[in-house]
Structures are given as C-alpha cells and as structure tokens.
Amino acid sequence: MLKRVKVLPGLLVFALAGVTHAAELALSGIVGDRAVIVVDNGPPQLLAVGASTPNGVRLLLIEGNTAVIEFEGRRQTLRLGERVVRHGDTPGTNTDTREQARKILARGVEITIESDASGHFMIDGEINGGSVNFLVDTGASLVAIGYSTAQNLGLDLDDEQRGQAHTAGGLINTWRVTLRSLKIGGLRFDNIDALVMQANMPQVLLGMNVLEQMEMRRDGKLMRLKKKP
C-alpha cells in the first residue's frame, strides 16, 4: 500500500567516532513514523522506530527533523542539514567527504509527491539555502521565480540579463539568473538557470531544466522523482 512520503530538505552525514569501523550515516528523509537512513555506501533503508539495519544501526526515536539512533552501544541524534563529521577530521573542513556523501545519497533517494485537490504537485525545498515552495510545472522550460521571492532570497538582479515574457496578465519584464544551488528532498542541483518574473508568484515553478535531470513516474495521485545516474 502506497503512503504519502514527507521528504525533508537537506541531509546529514555523520561518522561515529571511537569505534572500530567508522560507519558513515546519513538521514535523508522522514516517511510518516519512519526514517530513511543510509549506512556507508549502501542503498537508503526505511526504518520504523525500534527496527535495525543489517549493519546494526537501530532507530530509537523520531522527533521533528531529527532521528535518534543507536550503534554499537552509542546513541546519536541525526539532524537534517548538518555538516559532515568524520573520525580524525576537523569538523566542517572535509568538503570532499561531504560532496561524496551527497552524491551517494542522491543516487538512491526517490522523492514521492502527492497531488493536491487541484491535481498540482508541490514540494518544499531550497534555493541558495533559502526556503521556498515548488510547483512541478512540465510546461515551464526553466525554473521561474516571482519577484518578491527573489528579493527574499537575496538575488541581485542589477547586472543580470533582462528580457520579457508573455503571461496571462500581459507582457512582463524578466531577469535570467544562475542559482548557486536548488534542493528538493535529498536531491541537490547546482548552477541552475532560472527566470525571475516581475510579478509575484505563490510558488516557484520547477521547470524542465531541473525535471529533465530526473526520472519521473506517475502513479495515480503520486509522482515519483529520482535523479538520473
């Protein structure tokens, strides 16, 4: 039976220090009363509270955006969006490890979105670290951002390429920008082209320049998205 999946933005990768095997753990999402956990380079595993992975990682508690796990007698709180820490490293300096862990996660993470009463697919995410709400729009060639949202995100439009676009309300001005990062669920996309519209929009349109980088499957009211290899 299919259940609605709540995928939270950001991810955490954490290495438990002081054990013989420094297991690399990642919390990539929350699915109702279960957590999606990745151990080392393995596939994402969906754990209910009290269950354990074959590697011996046990899920003790889910609270908000955190999960408490137990591994080899040690308890640890995993939080979405925190930095990578590995045994023997200086916290926050191992950029290569963080990037490698992100790519490992992205290959296995599948996002499931349930349509609303109007048949629209919406999901929370981030642009350049700022929170936004995305509307999946296969009719948009590029990511499209409303003017007030662009201001809230701190996008500087002064030196950006200007243009115009036809809308239901007539001809409006646009700015073409490059987004440093765009995140939905546990997936991240870098250096994404987008249009800022000189009009306010309730959501950011998630256009085909991002969607074409993912495998898309429809199953009734559910849409499943997974980053292409």
The pLDDT of 20-45, averaged and rounded, is: 71
Task: List the single range of 58-67, 72-81, 108-117, 138-147 with lowest mean pLDDT.
Answer: 72-81
Instruction: Report the pLDDT value the prediction gives residue 11, as an integer from 0 to 100.
Output: 41
pLDDT of residue 173: 92
3-class DSSP assignment, residue 173: strand
Residue range 26-37: mean pLDDT, rounded? 76
Of 58-67, 121-130, 200-209, which range is least confident? 58-67
What is the average pLDDT across 21-50? 74
Give the per-residue pLDDT at 145. Answer: 96
Q: What share of the chain is helix, strand, coil (3-state, %, to 5)?
A: 10, 50, 40
Statement: residue 21 has pLDDT above 60? no
Helix (H, G, I), strand (E, B) or coil at 163: strand
Q: Which residues contact 226 (CB under 8 A, 6 or more apart)?
A: 109, 110, 111, 214, 215
Answer with the residue of higher pLDDT: 8 or 46: 46
Per-residue pLDDT at 127 exceeds 60: yes
Give the pLDDT confidence score for residue 23 in this predicted structure.
60
**DSSP 3-state of 151:** helix
Q: Is the pLDDT of residue 46 over 90?
A: no
Mean pLDDT is lowest, of 7-21, 153-167, 197-211, for: 7-21
pLDDT for position 195: 95
Q: What percent of the chain has pLDDT over 70?
A: 75
| Residue 103 pLDDT | 53
Residue 52 confidence (pLDDT): 87
Does 115 have pLDDT greater than 50? yes
Q: What is the pLDDT of residue 80?
A: 65
